[in-house]
Structure 1
Amino acid sequence: MPPTIRTTKLPFGEAVQVLGQGTWKMGEDSRRRADEVNALKLGLDLGITLIDTAEMYASGGAEEVVAEAIAGRRDETFLVSKVLPSNASRAGVQ
């Protein structure tokens, strides 16, 4: 059994892991897609439920890799995503 990953509480009360999987550079090369998806799935299998991504990573390609990796497992995943400043405003995210 994998060791338990320490968590921290966010201001709204949600407990999230302090260690997660990053997706920078994922989605840039279609030849690596299966390996990238499998790496994220393995992390989930090992108990790493936080995945960090951003719309600018591979122009959205990383988000597509994440979507494939968490299909059917969304309820056990905490996603962290970033948006380009041009897509955010005080009114919200576009």
Structure 2
Amino acid sequence: MSAESARTVVLPSGEEIAALGQGTWYLGEDPARREREIAALRLGVDLGMTVVDTAEMYGDGAAEELVGEALRG
């Protein structure tokens, strides 16, 4: 799927975002999975995903730290 044909949704604010993104629930909770989770997030970005859904309650902030590490650089 090309970026031009990707589906989008319009938020109540009027902002248009990609309809498909990556979720982070349960990410960052198991140190044994850390490298695989980072690789999965990076692959999603490499494939054109621009939305990452996270919340500070996911792993008590560990998911957000993982996303930061995946996107750094």
TM-score range, shorter chain: 0.7 to 0.9
Aligned residues: 71
Deviation at 1:12? 3.2
Instruction: Choose between structure 1 and 2: higher strand proportion.
Output: 1
- Aligned partner of 1:11 in structure 2 is 12
Structure 1 or 2: more helix by fraction? 2
Runs of at least 5 residues in structure 1 that lack an aligned partner in the other structure: 73-94
Query: Given the two structures, how large is their TM-score scaled by the length of structure 1?
Result: 0.68
- Looking at structure 1, the residues matched to 69 and 15 of structure 2 have their Cα atoms a distance apart, in angstroms, of 25
Coordinate RMSD, CA, aligned = 1.3
TM-score scaled to structure 2, two decimals?
0.85
Give the greater-gyration-radius structure (CA). Answer: 1
Shift of 1:31: 1.2
The runs of 5 or more residues in structure 2 that have no matched partner are none
List per-residue Cα deviations over 1:43-68 (Å, max 9, x = no partner). 01011110000111111110011001
